Structure 1
Amino acid sequence: MDGYRKVLTRPGITPLMMLGTLSKIAIVAIPVVLNLGVVLGLGLGFGAAGMVIAAYAVGVGVGGPVQGRMMDKYGARPVLLVCAAAQVLFWGFGPVMPYGMLVVGAAGCGLLNLPGFSLLRLRLAVAIPEEQRHTAFALDAMTSNISYMAGPALGVVVATTVSSDASMRGLGLVIALTGVGLAVLNPQVRDAKGTATGGPGRRLKFRDWFTPALLPVLAATTATTLATAGYESAIVGGLRHSGQVEWAGLVLTVCGLCSLFGALIYGTLKRSPGFAVITGLVGLTTIIGGFATHDWRLLALAMVLPAALCSPAFAATGSAASELAPAGARGVVMGCYSTALTLGNSIGAPLSGAVQDEKGPVWAFAVVGLTSATLSVLALLGQSRLARRRAAEDQPPQVMANASA
């Protein structure tokens, strides 16, 4: 655990982790609060709620790189204050908005969502030396796990025991307060010598930061969230199909605890496996769950491996993305990373649900797992091809001439 101590004792990291975790708890509650706001507050169906959540997800996907670029140029504080103000407006007026305006507002909410996840990763990328970075990103994955376990549950409790209006306004208040707190802390997200240029007098161009090496990282990131969102949906669907849906919450809790434990172990490793290998294993082990849907105890046991691997996969891809981000473009690269996370979440659950409707939960686990594993294999092949190209470029001209002769 000495690695975690070294990370947390760095100046400003502990308060940032605490505020960042609180902001994450609020952010991950947004979809369920929007859902209940439409269903309970407006009296509409889940299909209408899905449109609002989809608009929010599109906003998040577009806003991640844009916010990252703004942080590269102006630092964290201005972005945090603008986002906090936008969240106050949306969540303050959200309960009285008509449905059409709520859809548009949700897209704006996503576009100006508080960058709690990306801000923490950016700060870790700048402040933590490369040899400790996988430990730092494992710690980030653990805080994300805690957020996913607490945030949606709290949103449901407030919406169902108080009111959907209270849950929306309360959520907005928490997001705004954490945003202001982070702005006061003003974490340095730019390298001390980093600017928005790639050298004297030259601004970074798109190809300077969106390199071929980044594509496998983004593919593996999407693969991981596709698998996790997909198997969560398949767990609920599978237990409902077998008449044991009342145990779904417990099985998902087991998954969350296994994921937390997996991140804890991963952070203590001296050397981490390649990110594409870990994400591929997440996909392949997800398939096992399809053979255990008839008994919630067997399903919980079957999900131990994929759940325990998902946080290390997030930590590995996050660390890899940060290493590829050049000074002056860390924000936009990590913003693209956040978009890849959102893309996987947006694909995984609908894909799992569609397969369940057509073929049943067993096939949902299989399709989600194989799709995730296929993306990971493509990422691994892309990595290998780039490594071979770099090795060929590094060879001296005489060696290459002898080889061709």
Structure 2
Amino acid sequence: MRIDGYRKVVSRPGIGLLMLLGFFSKIAVVAIPVVMNLGVVFGLDRGFGAAGLVIALWTVGVAIGGPVQGRMMDKYGVRPVLIVSLTGQALFWGIGPSMSYGVLSVAAVGCGLLNLPGFAVVRLRLAVAIPEEQRHTAFALDAMTSNISYMVGPALGVTVATTVSSDVSMRGLGLSVALAGAGLALLNPQVRDSAKETGSEPAPRMKFRQWFKPALVPVLVATTATTLATAGYETAIVGGLRDSGQVEWAGLVLTVCGLCSFIGALLYGTLKRPPHFALISALVGLTTVVGGFATGDWRLLCLAMVLPAALCSPSFAATGGAASGLAPAGARGVVMGIYSASLTLGNSIGAPLSGAIQDARSPLWAFVVIGLTSAALSGVALGWTAWLARRPAAEPQSTPVLADAAA
């Protein structure tokens, strides 16, 4: 294992500042669902069901807007997309606290469509600036900053909303988004290959068949499988500890999961030859099942969740690297936008599915069903890549990923 790989990544021109600005933008973006939730519950005096509908509409906007923003970055670069996004975010968070529930619900879709693409900008720049042999280390570093943002952003949003007010929380979030986005716009990281750059001229439009390779499908499936598992087991942890009368320990268990995920990404980035993305994703699902048999004691649950949590960030780093490697020049933005949509899809399915199973059966079954579903999807992804590896090599861009699958 080689720790100096991280130093080599951040020492490249502009990468250190990009990771810092990307980190702050991620903190703001991941806080949006919880801040929006509390804005509806506290600010509009509505129930959590009504708040969940607003968040669902925002999620739909994100899923649609991600690929569109990616395509625009392919054509025009990062800065114009960020300026449009910042304008939309400033309008929404500036007047959001004074909106009625109906208006807020509709506006949430627009907020999602114009979501700050901080995650995508960082990944696109890493895909262009980092050589292939160091890319898994770079994406591991991205996964670590993402992991920390998920630990900090929602907690900060809840703290401000509950100790000050939901209005201050919403407007403060808007200010954070504006500052982070403005920093990225000023940096204006290059997300197109320098060898293919033509100044400000938009990239030529590529046909669907030119960029959507068969090898991309298992990457998206494995990504959805991992997010489904992580969102599902987080909900099941809270439900399981509630049923056993230990819900006050849920925060500590989730913090342990976050720390394990961070350590897992740190170790993954030092590997000289990392495992195949679908294999890591399958292990996330299989080890999640074990958590269902430990919900009676928070200490046992902490131990049971060490492996699935530690494998979570490496799985995201592996799928992110695989997706970027399959994206041809001129279509990286739209490919990574679809990759982001697959992340959103898994999150949107995992938590509600876990909750429904807990209501119908028990938290034990939530862990089991979530874990086995994730593992089954990962198995499909692994089988798909193995099948493609046995086919005659007709697509050069697929070769690295398929070779890894065969190995």
For 2:394 and 2:140, locate their aligned partners in 1 and report how far apart those are by CA, in whole Å: 34
Pair 1:319 & 2:321 matched? yes
Aligned to 1:389: 391
Is contact 2:139–2:318 with CA below 8 Å preserved after alignment? yes
Q: Superposition pairs for residues 117-196 of structure 1, below 5 Å?
A: 117-194=119-196
Q: Which residue of 2 aligns with 1:277?
A: 279
Alpha-carbon offset, residue 195 of structure 1: 6.1
> Structure 1 segments of 4 or more deviating over 4 A?
391-394
C-alpha separation in 2, matches of 1:107 and 1:68: 18
- 2:61 maps to what in 1? 59
Asked if the contact 2:137/2:268 (under 8 Å) is kept, the reply is yes
RMSD: 1.4
- Asked if 1:34 corresponds to 2:36, the answer is yes
Which structure 1 residue ranges, 5 or more long, are not aligned? 395-405
Alpha-carbon spacing, 1:393–1:34, altered in 2? closer, same or farther (3 Å): closer
Of 365, 368, 371, 1:366 maps to: 368
Max radius of gyration: which structure? Answer: 1
Q: Does the alignment pair 1:338 with 2:340? A: yes
Deviation at 1:194, TM superposition (A): 3.1
Q: CA deviation at 1:233?
A: 0.2
The residue number in structure 2 matching 1:47 is 49
1:390 aligns to what SS in structure 2? Answer: coil
2:221 touches 2:378 (CA, 8 Å); kept in 1?
A: yes
Tell me: CA distance 1:78–1:391, structure 2 relative to 1, closer, same or farther (3 Å). Answer: closer
How far apart in 1 are the matches of 2:394 and 2:31?
48
Identical pairs, percent: 76
Q: TM-score, normalised by structure 2?
A: 0.94
Alpha-carbon shift at residue 85 of structure 1 (Å): 1.0
Residue 225 (structure 2) aligns with: 223
Structure 2 contact 75–204 (Cα < 8 Å) conserved: no
Matched, 1:296 2:305: no
8 Å contact kept, 1:262–1:309: yes
1:22 partner letter: F
Rounded to whole Å, the distance in 1 between the matches of 2:309 and 2:395 is 40
**Which letter does structure 1 place at the counterpart of 2:78?**
A
C-alpha distance 166-280 of structure 1, shift in aligned 2 (>3 A)? same
How many pairs align?
Answer: 390
> What secondary structure is seen at the aligned counterpart in 2 of 1:268?
coil
Deviations 1:241-273 (A, max 9, x none): 100000000000000000000000000000000
C-alpha displacement of 1:204: 1.3
CA offset at residue 193 of structure 1?
2.6
Instruction: Give the AA of the match of 2:373.
Output: T
State TM-score, norm by structure 1.
Answer: 0.95
Q: What letter is aligned with 1:111? A: L
The range that moved more, 185-194 or 47-56, is 185-194
1:52-89 C-alpha deviation (Å, 9 max, x unpaired)? 00001000000110000000000000001110111000
Partner in structure 2 of residue 21 of structure 1: 23
Q: Deviations over 1:377-396 (max 9, x none)?
A: 000111011101135999xx
In the TM superposition, what whole-angstrom CA distance separates every residue of 1:312-345 from its partner, at most 9, and x where no partner exists? 0000000000000000000000000000000000
Bigger shift: 253-262 or 382-391? 382-391
Q: Distance between the aligned counterparts of 1:189 and 1:29, measured in 2?
A: 26
- Does the CA contact (< 8 Å) of 2:64 and 2:341 recur in 1? yes
| 2-structure distance, mates of 1:86, 1:209 | 29
